[in-house]
Amino acid sequence: MADALFFSCLLLFLAAMQGTGAVDYAVNGNTSNSNGGVRFKTEIGTQNSLQTMADASNFIWNWDRNGQTSVQLIEGIADFVRLKANYILSHWVQLGQGDRWD
């Protein structure tokens, strides 16, 4: 029963991610009187920081440069969900036994 519930939640999560088409970034200037706040306001600016975040997001989600998300990224997200749900697969190596990070 728990397996079916977990995979149903995983499929729902992946289906929701497929339909996600936008990310909203917000910049809050809470430190405008500090040295960093003044530098942000005068040298960096809100538009530059928003563009940097958008570029980083595009790089991550379009990893293979064909507009397709990396299979390893999707598998990594699925593995993270499994770990958070405490659903450790029996064929996963134990801590310290692996020879690869990915």
Q: Extract the tokens encoding 38.
A: 């003044």
- Given a cut of 60, whether residue 19 has pLDDT beyond it is no
Percent of the chain with pLDDT over 90: 0
Residue 28 CB partners (closer than 8 Å, separation 6+)? none
Band of pLDDT at residue 98, cut at 50, 70 and 90: confident
Instruction: Determine contact, residues 55/62, Cβ cutoff 8 Å.
Output: no
d(CA 27, CA 42) in angstroms, rounded, equals 15
Please give the model's pTM, rounded to 2 decimal places.
0.37
In the chain, domain spans: 2-84
- Report pLDDT digits (tens) over 49-89: 888 877 777 776 666 666 666 777 778 878 888 888 888 88
Q: Return the pLDDT at 2.
A: 62
Instruction: Determine contact, residues 10/18, Cβ cutoff 8 Å.
Output: no
